[in-house]
Structure 1
């Protein structure tokens, strides 16, 4: 019998939400990983601090990242991403990681 996968939130906490946007923060200590989560909406990632971050996609992901990706953090970087990703974020660096995620509810 297959065990149903439980998905978590895309960030650590919701900072703001209205009918147009939902804004999350994602905080990860060095070596910490997020819950497995699904991005249902177009979203914008804003890197605030940290040194290295990785995304570990699940086999059923339909997002833009289908293979493991690790990169240097660029504080202030703004990264638009489409929906469909099923993944885990992993802080592979030595510094705490902080990012703001803006989900776009309306086109």
Structure 2
């Protein structure tokens, strides 16, 4: 018998939400990781600060990141991402990581 997986939020806190968007903040200390979460909506990642971030996808992830990815943070980078990802974000850097995630709700 398998245990049911518990998914968390895609960010640390929700900054704003209306009928069109949900905006999250993701803050991770060096070595810290987010909850395992699922991206149900198209979204945009906006990197604010940090030096390295990784995504650790789950085996059942259907998003664009299917393999572990560790990358340099580029403050100001805007990264559009489709739905379907089941993953954990990991701060693999030496500096605190800050990102804003804008989920785009269907019209």
TM tier relative to shorter chain: over 0.9
TM superposition shift of 1:28: 0.1
- Paired residue total: 107
TM superposition shift of 1:63: 0.1
Residue 70, structure 1, aligned to residue 70, structure 2: yes
Give the TM-score taking structure 1 as reference length. Answer: 0.99
Aligned equivalents of 1:106 and 1:63: distance in 2? 18
Aligned equivalents of 1:28 and 1:90: distance in 2? 8
- Which residue number in structure 1 is paired with residue 103 of structure 2? 103
Give the TM-score taking structure 2 as reference length. Answer: 0.99
Aligned equivalents of 2:91 and 2:69: distance in 1? 12
> Any stretches of 5+ residues in structure 2 without a counterpart?
none
Q: Detail structure 1 runs of 4+ shifted over 4 Å in the superposition.
A: none
1:43-100 residue CA offsets vs partner (Å, 9 max, x unmatched): 0000000000000000000000000000000000000000000000000000000000
Residue 92, structure 1, aligned to residue 85, structure 2: no
Aligned equivalents of 1:36 and 1:106: distance in 2? 24
- Which residue number in structure 1 is paired with residue 31 of structure 2? 31
Aligned equivalents of 2:88 and 2:102: distance in 1? 17
- Which residue number in structure 1 is paired with residue 6 of structure 2? 6
Q: CA RMSD in A?
A: 0.6
